């Protein structure tokens, strides 16, 4: 039996049920850990499922941040203070540790230490990377765009990229399955990523007869 809900039905759902339903409707999203360091040298790590590619030239990524009203979370506060942050792909080997970085620790307590996630600093980049992560991106904050619901899209320019050589093909495409990249559905359910197929760039003269 198919469920069909209108906006009144949705509004009348139990709060937690509605939150889980709406969050999972978008399907599988990338699982990423965002690493930051405060101006005082305290490191922070938090999991996000909202990282999106915005452009390739210049190379830019964005992620969605919940409303930062009276008490901004450490991730955003550190980005505003220092301008630098890292995005680190989560593999299935450390999804449990990654998930628990969503805890609300104090600013002087590092999720790297509490969840026993090893960090590393690469070259002279200010923010910490996740050592176990196979794909790591270093970014510099460009701007934060307010959204109608009070959230913000935080936009950054890519300054550094690290990835395993064996996981990329001659076209520059990463094979996420080769390093067991993980995805998230909703707020707390994790999936393995498996490659199904790969198709050519679509032009009108190469559309098959379906």
- pLDDT tens by residue, 153-170: 999 999 999 999 999 999
Would the pTM of this model clear 0.75, i.e. be above it?
yes
Residue 102 sits in a domain whose CATH number is: 2.30.110.10
In a domain, 8, yes or no: no
pLDDT at residue 172, as a whole number: 92
In a domain, 1, yes or no: no
In a domain, 5, yes or no: no
- If you average pLDDT over residues 70-94, what whole number do you get? 92
pLDDT at residue 131, as a whole number: 97
In a domain, 18, yes or no: no
- Give the integer Cα–Cα distance in Å for 147 and 66: 10
- If you average pLDDT over residues 82-100, what whole number do you get? 97
- Give the integer Cα–Cα distance in Å for 136 and 151: 25
Residue range(s) defining the domain that contains residue 146: 28-195
pLDDT tens-digit readout, 24-73: 999 999 999 999 999 999 999 999 999 999 999 999 999 999 887 767 78
Any idea which residue has 């990463």 for tokens?
A: 174
- If you average pLDDT over residues 174-193, what whole number do you get? 92
In a domain, 15, yes or no: no
In a domain, 202, yes or no: no
Strand intervals (E) in 2-148 = 29-30, 32-37, 43-48, 52-56, 59-65, 84-89, 119-120, 129-130, 136-146
pLDDT at residue 54, as a whole number: 97
pLDDT at residue 187, as a whole number: 87
- If you average pLDDT over residues 166-190, what whole number do you get? 92
Q: Give 3-state DSSP helix, strand, coil % of the chain, rounded to 5.
A: 25, 35, 45
In a domain, 12, yes or no: no
List the one residue out of 90, 15, 108 whose CA is nearest residue 100. 90
- Give the integer Cα–Cα distance in Å for 139 and 34: 10
pLDDT band at 100 (very low <50, low <70, confident <90, very high): very high
> Is pLDDT above 80 for 22?
yes
In a domain, 175, yes or no: yes
Structural domain count, the chain: 1
- If you average pLDDT over residues 60-87, what whole number do you get? 91
């Amino acid at each position: 039996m198919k469920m069909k809900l209108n906006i009144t039905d949705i509004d009348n759902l139990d709060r937690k049920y509605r939150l889980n339903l709406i969050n999972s409707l978008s399907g599988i999203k990338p699982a990423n850990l965002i690493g930051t360091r405060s101006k005082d040298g305290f490191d922070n790590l938090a999991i996000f499922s909202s990282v999106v590619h915005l452009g390739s030239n210049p190379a830019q990524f964005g992620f969605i941040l919940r409303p930062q009203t009276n008490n901004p979370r450490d991730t955003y506060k550190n980005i505003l203070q220092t301008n630098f942050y890292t995005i680190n792909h989560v593999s299935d080997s450390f999804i449990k540790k990654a998930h628990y970085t969503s805890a609300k620790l104090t600013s002087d307590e590092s999720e790297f230490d509490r969840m026993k996630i090893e960090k590393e600093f690469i070259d002279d980049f200010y923010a910490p990377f996740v050592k176990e992560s196979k794909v790591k991106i270093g970014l510099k904050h460009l701007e934060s765009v307010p959204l109608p619901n009070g959230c913000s899209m935080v936009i950054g320019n890519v300054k550094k990229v690290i990835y395993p050589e064996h996981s990329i093909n001659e076209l520059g495409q990463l094979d996420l399955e080769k390093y067991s990249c993980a995805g998230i559905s909703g707020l707390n359910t994790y999936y393995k990523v498996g490659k199904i197929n790969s198709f050519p760039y679509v032009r009108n003269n190469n559309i098959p007869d379906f």
